[in-house]
Amino acid sequence: MRAYHVAAPGAAAALSEIPCPSPRAGELLVRIEACGLNFADLLILEGQYQEMPEAPFTLGMEVAGTVEATGPGVTTPVPGTRVAVFGGHGGLAEYGCFPAERAVTLPDSMDAVAGAAFQIAYGTSHVALSHRARLAPGERLLVLGAAGGVGLTAVEIGRAMGAEVIACARGAEKLEVARRAGAHHLVPADPETLRDDVRALGGADVVYDPVGGPLFEAAFRACRPEARLLSIGFASGEVPRIKANHLLVKNLTVMGIYWGGYLHFRPGVVRESLAELMRWHGEGHLAPHVSHVLPLERVEEGLTLLRERRSTGKVVIRPR
C-alpha cells in the first residue's frame, strides 16, 4: 500500500510503498478514506511533539474509513462499520491498524472527510471550553487563531454553549470565515491593538489560545477579573511567559489542555465529549469547515498549507 512514511530514525518522510498491516489483539484494520492533518503532524516531523512515535512509522493522527477486519479479542465495531479513529499516527496511508477502543462509529450525517476533520479539533475545543473552563452562557469568549483547525471549532462550540464570541484572526478573509461560523465580534490579530479592541467590547471571561506568543500576552491584559485562559498550543512558535503577580491581582487562571492526554488518564472525558459532539452534528449544530481536500501524493502541499497558515479550518488528505 502507499503511505507517507518515515522509514528510520532521522529519515525524512516520503510517499512510499510498504506492506499492508494486519490487526493484532485489540486492533482494527481500517480502509482509510480520509485523514485530517494537524499542526501536531508538523511537530512530529520536526521531532518536537510531546508523544513521538518510534520509527518506522506513518504520519497522520486521525482518520475516517471502513473497518476491514478485526484482531483477536475485538467484537465491535464489526467489519463494514464506518468509523473515525484517533490513532496518533498511521493515518496517511491506504490502510491502517488502530486500537478498537478508540473507534467512534460515524453517524449517517457525517461523510469520511468530515469524520477525519472532526475528532481532534472539535474534541479539543469541547473539552477545553466545557470540561476545563466551564464556559457559561452569557460569558465573553475570546478565540485566538479563530479561523484555524481548532480555533474555528471553538467559535462554533462557544456559540452553541451560549457565549458571546470574539474571533481574532489575521486578515479579512479569515475573519469572514469566523463570522460565518458564528462569531459575534471580529478583531484583527494584532498584538498592538488586541487589548484595546477586546476591552472596548467589555473584556474576556475566557481566552482560547492555540497561538501563544505576543497575542497571548495581549489577550492576558484584556481579561476581566476571574477570567480563565486556555493554553491549547503555540502555532506562533513562541511559548509565552506568564507573570504570576498579574494572575494574583486579577484572580486569573491559566490552564493547559492536551486532548490526547485524556485518552491515557481519563478516557471517559473524551468518550462523553465525542458522544455529545456527534449528537450536535446530527442535530445540525456543527458544520466542519474543510478548506482543502487533497490526494495522498499532495500531502506535502497540505502540510505546507498548515505551516504557512494558508488554510482555514482543516486540511484533509484522501489516500485513494
Looking up residue 24, the CATH number of its domain turns out to be 3.90.180.10
Same domain as 220, residue 189: yes
The tally of domains found in the chain comes to 2
Closest CA to 206 of 218, 193, 188, 219: 219
Same domain as 8, residue 103: yes
Same domain as 248, residue 128: yes
Radius of gyration (C-alpha) of the chain in whole angstroms: 20
| H-state helical runs in the chain | 39-45, 112-116, 119-126, 151-160, 172-180, 194-200, 213-221, 244-250, 259-265, 267-282, 299-307
Return the DSSP state at 211: S
Task: Assess if residue 147 is contained within a domain.
Answer: yes
Same domain as 125, residue 106: no
Same domain as 229, residue 157: yes
Amino acid sitting at position 38: N
Task: Assess if residue 277 is contained within a domain.
Answer: no
Distance CA 135, CA 298 (A): 39
Same domain as 162, residue 230: yes
pLDDT score for 246: 87
Task: Assess if residue 205 is contained within a domain.
Answer: yes
pLDDT score for 5: 96
Distance CA 213, CA 319 (A): 35
Same domain as 108, residue 237: no
The pLDDT of 204-227, averaged and rounded, is 97
Q: Write down which residue in 244, 260, 276 finishes a domain.
A: 260
Task: Assess if residue 172 is contained within a domain.
Answer: yes
What's the first-to-final CA gap in the chain, in angstroms? 10
CA 154 remoteness from chain centre: 10
Written as nine digits, the cell of 216 is: 497571548
Distance CA 154, CA 160 (A): 10
Q: What pTM was computed for the model?
A: 0.91
The pLDDT of 178-194, averaged and rounded, is 97
| Mean pLDDT of the chain, nearest integer | 95
Same domain as 167, residue 104: no
Task: Assess if residue 274 is contained within a domain.
Answer: no
Q: How confident is the model at residue 50 (pLDDT cuts 50, 70, 90)?
A: confident
Distance CA 57, CA 77 (A): 25
Q: Which domain holds residue 133?
A: 121-260
The pLDDT of 265-274, averaged and rounded, is 93
Written as nine digits, the cell of 157 is: 462550540
3-state secondary structure of 310: coil
* Placement of cell 457565549 in the chain: 163
Task: Assess if residue 272 is contained within a domain.
Answer: no
Same domain as 147, residue 53: no
Summarised one tens digit per residue, pLDDT across range 220-245 is 999 999 999 999 999 999 999 998 99
How many other β-carbons are positioned within 10 Å of the β-carbon of residue 166? 29
Closest CA to 289 of 207, 167, 201, 131: 167
- β pairing state of 314-318 and 103-105: unpaired
Same domain as 173, residue 87: no
Task: Assess if residue 107 is contained within a domain.
Answer: yes
Same domain as 147, residue 94: no
At residue 167, does pLDDT exceed 90?
yes
Distance CA 48, CA 46 (A): 5
Return the DSSP state at 315: E
The pLDDT of 54-79, averaged and rounded, is 96
Same domain as 69, residue 180: no
Q: What is the CATH number of the domain that holds 255?
A: 3.40.50.720
At residue 320, does pLDDT exceed 90?
no
3-state secondary structure of 276: helix
Task: Assess if residue 280 is contained within a domain.
Answer: no
